[in-house]
Amino acid sequence: MATSPDDKSLANGLTFRRFEDGDNKWDSMEDAIFRQDTSYKCPTYIQKTPPCQGSCPSGEDIRGWLQIIRGIEKPAGEMSMQEYAFRRSTTANPFPSMMGRVCPAPCQDGCNRNDVDDFVGINSVEQYIGDSAIEAGLGFDDSAPLSGKKVAIVGGGVAGLSAAYQLRKMGHASTIFDDHEQLGGMARYGIPGYRVPRDKMDAEIERITNMDGVEVKLGTRVGKDVAVEDLEKEYDAILWALGCKKGRGLFVDNWDDVPNAVTAVEFLEAFNLGNMKYTAPKVVCVGGGDTSIDVVSVSRRIGTLPDYSENPEDSATGKIKHDAEPENKVPCEVTLTSLFPLDQMTAAEHEVQDALVEGVTILTEVMPSEIVVDENGRAIGLKVVEAVMEGNMPKPVEGGKETLIEADLIVSAIGQYGDLEGVEEIGNDRNAIDADNFYQVPGKEGHFVAGDIVRPHLLTTAIGQASIAAETINHYLTNKEEKLDKRPKVDKHHFDLLDKLKEFELAPVSFEEGKEPDLRGTDSDNYAVHNYDDRSEHEIISSSELFLGHFEKVERHKRTEDVPGKDEVLGHFTERMNPLDEEDVIAEAERCMSCGLCFECDNCVIYCPQDAVYRVKKDQSTTGRYVDTDYARCIGCHICADVCPTGYIEMGLGA
């Protein structure tokens, strides 16, 4: 009998235990093969959602584009593997190059391969897809006829841009309003260029803005330069994708009174605009998430001056601009504090480790208690105390150790909220915008919302919300009289077998009611896809449903990182994440277990004792239709389901 992997076997480098200790006798196969299954069950091909996609807030068909990269799924025409993978990937996410670099990859945490050896390096493959598309100069299809409807999109970050892209595919024009001089939102003004190269970002944004029907108005703030009422008159719908551009201060009594205490949002925007080329000698950042890692990593890279005499908050908030890059910079002392232990910080683990290598001091399981000021009211240090989390709130440990960290600049990276000045009527008391399950603004007909302004989260979350919001807007513009259906349990962008069959001109013929006198036993007729069920909108397949014994241990092909040591970090702005070459990308994609969909291993064909399972003829075969069952031969022995590595075969129906 099959067993699940245990900690001991994994620790010993084993991938899977087929039998428990003591299981040294074969069970009799006579009843299974020769006496049949009295339930008369036969193989049914069940498509389910893999946990990588189920864990992806964008709902990407990750399994699909991994299958394309490895060569299992092929296009119908002459399209290259790289372009085909790009087209599949960007069904959900128009920024594969960017997201392959900076997404913290919840998909990899969910990957079933973790129960065999190690997750599939999904991010590294996505980076390759994005970079290959940029190199090839690929653009987006904007051939859908324009509907005549126009949507105002307020905010030009990844949510607003993704919505514009999705809406244009549906045939709707849009205008993006943004108060910055460049599009990109927090991806541009919050993430340093050594994590997201600006040439890659610009290329992926330009693909969207180059689509016919997508207009951009920069340096334009809705609520100030243009009234909401004017947008309501001129446009058929409004999408609020403002993001969260204001940072939260520390919860200490004198935060608002201390001039040299700033937020991470201000600090990173000043750096990314090129206004801040060096900072204070001693920087303390409070956080623990990815934003705080960016603050401390930037601080170590830009350094300070040996004769530093500025007020550091002036450059950190954009009040002054550093015009020239000084030649006499020296490293600064940088400390990061976190409420959580090192291995529980919300920042990506490799980012935390990189910060340590770069010379950042990290104090864990502490919380700020007081900003210590001098006679002029300026911060000279931050007191922190040992703390524990009780529910969602930190609490000082009674009698816990107190530490004073010297500081010339204190940066708060504990959260963000929206800037709703001029459009307060659209917001709530949390400086955010309410959304229902379809990303409509309750009580505001024609108003929709997506991204951080709903709740600050990941870039991939904003992309996924924008896709759903675009569908809702499309429904509003084309069929608003019909009530919206409930969103599927597992949202979205699933592989569609019928679409795949249509791509290869293999779609079932139309069914004409009344032409068939008896609808039982019609598996030889071509008006339906037989013995197949798509449950991808309802079920995520777990590793317990797979035949893990099929998979051997294969080391992950890891990207290398250009992480400078503490003595080399000053002035080091080389891109951190190095791409895999094509050979390693393909090899990494081959580690995908294709959970919930056939990957053409032939196990069911080889092991069927009745030759009931057979390969579909090549001219009739495509992804998801590689094998079929001869019901006249099948005796319901279950062997095909037992040996299916991907969990695609279940016993069901009647023979």
How far is CA 100 from its chain centroid? 9
Percentage of residues of the chain with pLDDT beyond 90: 85
φ/ψ of 462, rounded to 5, equals -60, -40
State residue 31's pLDDT score: 53
Among residues 114, 95, 98, the alpha carbon closest in space to that of 106 is found at: 114
Residue pair 221/181 in contact by the 8 Å Cβ criterion: no
State residue 11's pLDDT score: 47
- CA pair distance 165, 169, nearest whole angstrom: 6
State residue 34's pLDDT score: 47
Q: Report which residue type is found at 413.
A: A
393-396 vs 379-390, strand pairing mode: antiparallel
Q: Inform me whether the pLDDT recorded for 28 exceeds 80.
A: no
Q: Is residue 41 domain-shared with residue 68, that is, in the same domain?
A: yes
How far is CA 240 from its chain centroid? 21
Residue pair 274/325 in contact by the 8 Å Cβ criterion: no
State residue 339's pLDDT score: 96
Q: Is residue 312 domain-shared with residue 393, that is, in the same domain?
A: yes
Q: Which two tokens stand for residue 341?
A: 């232990």
pLDDT tens string 42-95: 899 999 999 999 999 999 999 999 999 999 999 998 999 999 999 999 999 999
Picking from 324-328, 564-568, 632-636, which range would have the lowest pLDDT averaged per residue? 632-636
Average pLDDT, the chain: 92
Q: Is residue 423 domain-shared with residue 413, that is, in the same domain?
A: no
In a domain, 145, yes or no: no
Write the CA distances from 305 to 192, 209, 315, 316, integer angstroms.
21, 41, 14, 15
Among residues 269, 252, 274, the alpha carbon closest in space to that of 261 is found at: 252
55-77 burial by CB neighbour count: b if 16+ within 10 A, else e? bbbbbbbbbbbbbbbbebbebee
Q: Is residue 259 domain-shared with residue 401, that is, in the same domain?
A: yes
Q: Is residue 365 domain-shared with residue 446, that is, in the same domain?
A: no
Which residues of 310-421 form beta strands (DSSP E)? 333-338, 361-363, 366-373, 379-390, 393-396, 402-406, 409-412, 416-417
Q: By CB neighbour count within 10 A (0-12 exposed, 13-18 middle, 19+ buried), where does 78 fall?
A: exposed
State residue 492's pLDDT score: 87
Helix (H) or strand (E) holding 285: strand 282-287
Q: Is residue 20 domain-shared with residue 42, that is, in the same domain?
A: yes
Query: Residue 150 forms beta bridges with which residues?
Result: 173
Q: Which residue, 417, 437, 463, sits at the end of a domain?
A: 417
Residue 207: other Cβ atoms inside 10 A = 20
The residues near 430 (Cβ < 8 Å, ≥ 6 apart) are: 417
- CA pair distance 379, 267, nearest whole angstrom: 17
Residues 589-615, mean pLDDT to the nearest whole number = 96
Q: Inform me whether the pLDDT recorded for 98 exceeds 60.
A: yes
pLDDT tens string 128-184: 999 999 999 999 999 999 999 999 999 999 999 999 999 999 999 999 999 999 999
State residue 632's pLDDT score: 84
Q: Inform me whether the pLDDT recorded for 455 exceeds 90.
A: yes
Please state the three-class secondary structure of 317-330 as a single string: CCCCCCCCCCCCCE
Residue pair 384/397 in contact by the 8 Å Cβ criterion: no
- CA pair distance 613, 627, nearest whole angstrom: 7
Picking from 294-303, 389-398, 434-443, which range would have the lowest pLDDT averaged per residue? 389-398
Q: Is residue 267 domain-shared with residue 327, that is, in the same domain?
A: yes
Q: For tokens 């915008």, what's the residue?
A: 433
Among residues 27, 43, 47, 31, the alpha carbon closest in space to that of 633 is found at: 43
Instruction: Find the CATH number of the domain harbouring 406.
Output: 3.50.50.60
Q: Inform me whether the pLDDT recorded for 208 exceeds 70.
A: yes
Q: Is residue 263 domain-shared with residue 228, that is, in the same domain?
A: no
Q: Is residue 297 domain-shared with residue 364, that is, in the same domain?
A: yes
Q: Which two tokens stand for residue 23?
A: 């299981």
Write the CA distances from 112 to 18, 227, 387, 555, integer angstroms.
17, 50, 35, 15
pLDDT tens string 225-235: 999 999 999 99
Percentage of residues of the chain with pLDDT beyond 70: 91
State residue 3's pLDDT score: 41
Among residues 435, 483, 469, the alpha carbon closest in space to that of 174 is found at: 469
State residue 99's pLDDT score: 98
Any idea what DSSP says for residue 196?
S
Residues 560-571, mean pLDDT to the nearest whole number = 96
Give me the helices (H) in 137-178, please: 158-169
Report helix angle 158-169 to 459-479, nearest 10.
40
What is the band of 26 on the pLDDT scale with cuts at 50, 70, 90? low
Residues 380-402, mean pLDDT to the nearest whole number = 92
Residue ranges making up the domain that contains 205? 150-245+418-479
Among residues 213, 212, 203, 168, the alpha carbon closest in space to that of 183 is found at: 203
Among residues 592, 538, 611, 594, the alpha carbon closest in space to that of 627 is found at: 611
In a domain, 141, yes or no: no
State residue 4's pLDDT score: 45
- CA pair distance 511, 246, nearest whole angstrom: 57
Q: Is residue 412 domain-shared with residue 431, that is, in the same domain?
A: no
- How many CA atoms are closer than 13 Å to the CA of 529, on its beta-carbon side? 24
In a domain, 443, yes or no: yes
Residue 209: other Cβ atoms inside 10 A = 15
Q: Inform me whether the pLDDT recorded for 510 exceeds 80.
A: no
- How many CA atoms are closer than 13 Å to the CA of 32, on its beta-carbon side? 11
Q: Inform me whether the pLDDT recorded for 383 exceeds 90.
A: yes
pLDDT tens string 517-547: 556 656 677 777 888 999 999 999 999 999 9
State residue 12's pLDDT score: 47
Q: Is residue 224 domain-shared with residue 288, that is, in the same domain?
A: no
Residues 17-40, mean pLDDT to the nearest whole number = 58
- CA pair distance 452, 190, nearest whole angstrom: 13
In a domain, 487, yes or no: no
What is the band of 446 on the pLDDT scale with cuts at 50, 70, 90? very high
In a domain, 52, yes or no: yes
Picking from 152-161, 276-285, 506-515, which range would have the lowest pLDDT averaged per residue? 506-515
Q: For tokens 């990182």, what's the residue?
A: 561
- CA pair distance 328, 312, nearest whole angstrom: 17
Q: Is residue 572 domain-shared with residue 623, that is, in the same domain?
A: yes
In a domain, 195, yes or no: yes
Q: What is the CA radius of gyration of the chain?
A: 28
In a domain, 503, yes or no: yes
- CA pair distance 483, 476, nearest whole angstrom: 10
In a domain, 488, yes or no: no
Number of domains in the chain: 3
Residues 488-511, mean pLDDT to the nearest whole number = 90
State residue 512's pLDDT score: 66
Q: Which two tokens stand for residue 104?
A: 């913290």
Q: Inform me whether the pLDDT recorded for 291 exceeds 50.
A: yes
Q: Which two tokens stand for residue 369?
A: 């208690």
Residues 36-46, mean pLDDT to the nearest whole number = 74
